[in-house]
Structure 1
């Protein structure tokens, strides 16, 4: 480890902010600037491309950094790490038919957890799981195809989550080579899910810490 968070294989750095229009461009701007700062190189030495699967990758001086990008509903987030493939997703906590959606799409154990909560807690809880599943799909490079919504992710130890410690990615119950976590931000108004491939040949490493930071919208301009 060389002291630069973006190259630490044991840490996933997530930067997020609110955005007013052109979220895709702003997310890409934040991503390149963040990678350049972590690597201590000019942003002009890093550029963004996409693999055939659609997965975003950095080229140039940033080729050693694994990344993921998400944006929508007035927010964006980027994830960067020196470790294995990573995924990130952000959602606004809003009114949902959470019980019906959980029963229709989630694993039965997850649906039972969501429906056992008080009605006002269910939308955030559903999105807590949803963002992790989206993130797992991104880390694996295949989205939610092939049963992504029914793929079980770790449930929180308490709900609502308590404490200020950064989340630690935990292995999926049925797939220990993938780990995920989620965190409520913005006073509980948004939830960010993060996932990473762990323990796979050529990628190494165990479950990583997640460092989540809110940045100014100006950092994306």
Structure 2
């Protein structure tokens, strides 16, 4: 039986797991159960829908919550919160042509940071930025369209970041209405990015956002 790991609508709950296939169905199940656990209702009272542009939204008893879903390459992640529109992304750490990709797609300051790192750290650094950009695009409701890859996200205060402990979300350099961060999980084998988008008067700041990032087992999701 699935046991919700706790959390609050006033925080951002991020749940992730490694999977052996069928990520889409499991992500659907996990986001509905996580939302139900946060507001104390049965999962049958909540359902998952999608806006015209593809953004997932909850129906039924879950309409007060914002959700985001990511899956692929044998992993899935969901984010649930009552604070503001949210985005989440998950990537498996793997060897990339990170320096070339950074120069081609990232903001010049971000590319300079990635390429200045030792070569064996460049791939995870690129993914640390990439997952945040994907998350920001989801929180904004437009994905990576309209210059999403060149949209700057905060560079880390220290590198490498600690595993399984996300840094506090920080405002985007070019958009103070959005905050983002990333965390390495699964012993550093995966990176999870998360972002929140507030309005001009209520944009969440680093001191306002509490992240709760947890692993669940694929057996729990079913």
TM over 0.5: yes
The alpha carbon displacement at 1:206 in A equals: 3.4
Does the Cα contact within 8 Å between 2:179 and 2:204 map onto a contact in 1?
Answer: no
Structure 1 segment 23-38 matched on structure 2, within 5 A: 23-38=23-38
CA distance in 1, matches of 2:166, 2:174: 24
| Distance change (3 Å), C-alpha of 1:164 and 1:15 | closer
CA distance in 2, matches of 1:170, 1:30: 27
Does the Cα contact within 8 Å between 1:198 and 1:206 map onto a contact in 2?
Answer: no
Moved runs in structure 1, 4+ residues, more than 2 A?
162-167, 198-201, 203-207
The TM-score with structure 1 as length reference comes to: 0.93
Gaps of 5+ in 2: 1-5
The residue number in structure 2 matching 1:136 is 136
Does the Cα contact within 8 Å between 2:35 and 2:62 map onto a contact in 1?
Answer: yes
The alpha carbon displacement at 1:210 in A equals: 1.5
The alpha carbon displacement at 1:36 in A equals: 1.0
CA distance in 2, matches of 1:152, 1:175: 9
| Distance change (3 Å), C-alpha of 1:164 and 1:28 | closer
Q: Does structure 1 residue 49 correspond to structure 2 residue 32?
A: no
The residue number in structure 1 matching 2:212 is 211
The alpha carbon displacement at 1:219 in A equals: 2.2
CA distance in 1, matches of 2:31, 2:220: 10
Structure 1 segment 138-157 matched on structure 2, within 5 A: 138-157=138-157
CA distance in 2, matches of 1:218, 1:134: 27
CA distance in 2, matches of 1:98, 1:65: 36
The alpha carbon displacement at 1:5 in A equals: 3.0
Deviation string 1:63-109 (CA, Å, 9 cap, x unpaired) is: 11100000000000000001010000000000100000000000000
Instruction: Give the SS at the match of 1:188.
Output: coil
| Distance change (3 Å), C-alpha of 1:220 and 1:66 | same
Structure 1 segment 119-130 matched on structure 2, within 5 A: 119-130=119-130
The residue number in structure 2 matching 1:76 is 76
After superposition, the CA RMSD in angstroms is: 1.5
The residue number in structure 1 matching 2:66 is 66
Gaps of 5+ in 1: none
